[in-house]
Structure 1
Amino acid sequence: MPHHPFPLFSLPYLPLKKVLDSFGAHAILYISMCSLRSKRIAVSYRGPSKNVKLTLHFGYKHSLSFSISTVCLEELCIYWLLSAENQSELSSVDRNLATVRIGNFCDIPVEKGRLGLSTYWDDCMVGITEIGDYAREVFNQDIYEVTLGEKLPEDVYERAAEWVKNSQETIQSLHCNFNPEIVNDLDSILENFKYTEILVLDVNPPPEYFPAKPPNFNVDHLHILFSFWVKQEHLLTMNCKYIILQESKLSSNDLNVFLKHFMNGGCFQLKEFSVDVKTSIDYEVVLNDVEFEERDRDVERVYVNEEEHHHTLRGGLDIKRPSDDAKVTIMNFSKHFLMIVWPDFAGNSY
Structure 2
Amino acid sequence: MSTVFHLFSLPYLPLKRVLDNVGPEALLYISLCSRRAKNVAVSYKGPSKNVQLNVHFGHKNCLSYMEGVDIYWLLNVQKRSNLSYVDRNLATVRIGNFCGIPVEMGELGMNTYWDDCMVGITEIGDHAREIFNQDFYEVCVYDKQEDGDHRRAAEWIKNSQGKIQSLHCDFKPQIDNDLDFILENVEYTRMLSLHVNPPPNYHPAKPPNFSIDFVYMIFSFWIKQDHLLTMNCEYIVLQDSKLSSQDFNAFLKHWMAGDCSKLKLLRVDVEELIDYQIVLDGAEFVKRERDVARVYVDEEEHHHTIRGGFDAKRPSDNVTATITNGGQISKFFLMIVWPDSAENSYED
Q: Which residue number in structure 2 is paired with residue 62 of structure 1? A: 61
d(CA) in 1 for partners of 2:244, 2:342: 32
Partner of 1:38: 37
1:279-330: per-residue Cα shift (whole Å, max 9, x none)? 1011111111100101111111111111111111111111110011111111
Q: Distance in 2 between matches of 1:5 and 1:294?
A: 66
Q: 2:223 aligns with which of 206, 223, 230?
A: 230
Q: Secondary structure at the match of 1:37?
A: helix
Structure 1 residue 276, shift from structure 2 partner: 0.5
- Equivalent-residue separation in structure 2 for 1:59 and 1:226 (angstroms): 20
For residue 194 of structure 2, the aligned residue among 172, 185, 201 is 201
- Of the three residues 313, 338, 347, the one matched with 2:343 is 347
Deviation per residue, 1:208-243 (Å, 9 max, x gap): 111111111111110011000000110111111100
Displacement of 1:92: 4.4
> Alignment partner of 2:145: what SS?
coil
Residue 8 (structure 1) shift: 6.5
C-alpha displacement of 1:16: 2.4
1:231-250 matches, within 5 Å, as 231-250=224-243
1:187 is matched with which residue? 180
Task: Report the CA distance shift for 1:5/1:131 in structure 2 as closer, same or farther (over 3 A).
Answer: closer
Residue 327 of structure 1: aligned partner: 320
Q: 1:277 corresponds to which letter in structure 2?
A: V
Deviation per CA, 1:83-109, whole angstroms, max 9, x where unpaired? Answer: 111110111426221011111111111
Secondary structure of 1:78's counterpart equals: strand
Residues 227, 246 of structure 1: 8 Å contact kept: yes
Q: Secondary structure at the match of 1:254?
A: helix
- Cross-structure match for 1:152: 145
Query: Structure 1 residues 5, 24: closer, same or farther in 2, change over 3 A?
Result: closer
User: Percent of aligned pairs with the same residue?
Assistant: 65
Going from structure 1 to structure 2, the CA distance change for 1:328 and 1:9 (only over 3 Å counts) comes to farther
In structure 2, the residue corresponding to 1:339 is in which secondary structure? strand
Query: Equivalents in 1 of 2:161, 2:11: separation in Å?
Result: 32
5+ unaligned residues in a row in structure 2: which ranges? 1-5
* CA distance, structure 2, for counterparts of residue 10 and residue 162 of structure 1: 45
TM-score using structure 1 length: 0.94
Q: Which whole-Å CA distance do the structure 1 matches of 2:142 and 2:254 have between them?
A: 35
Q: Partners of 1:324 and 1:45 in 2: how far apart?
A: 48
Q: RMSD in angstroms over aligned alpha carbons? A: 1.5
1:5 Cα shift? 7.5
| Partner Cα distance (2:12, 2:250) in 1 | 67
- Look up the match of 1:113: 106
- 1:254 maps to amino acid: D
Q: What runs of 5+ residues in structure 1 fail to find an aligned partner?
A: none
AA in 1 matched with 2:225: Q
Whole-angstrom CA distance in 2 between matches of 1:321 and 1:273: 16
Deviation at 1:6, TM superposition (A): 3.7
Q: How does 1:125-144 map to 2 (within 5 A)?
A: 125-144=118-137
Q: Is the 8 A contact 1:9 1:16 kept in 2?
A: no
1:293 matched to 2:286? yes
If the length of structure 2 is used for normalisation, what is the TM-score?
0.94
**Count of residues paired in the alignment:** 338
AA aligned to 1:120 is Y
The one-letter code sitting in structure 1 at the alignment partner of 2:151 is E
Equivalent residue in structure 2 for 1:86, among 75, 79, 85:
79
Q: Distance in 1 between matches of 2:213 and 2:310?
A: 25
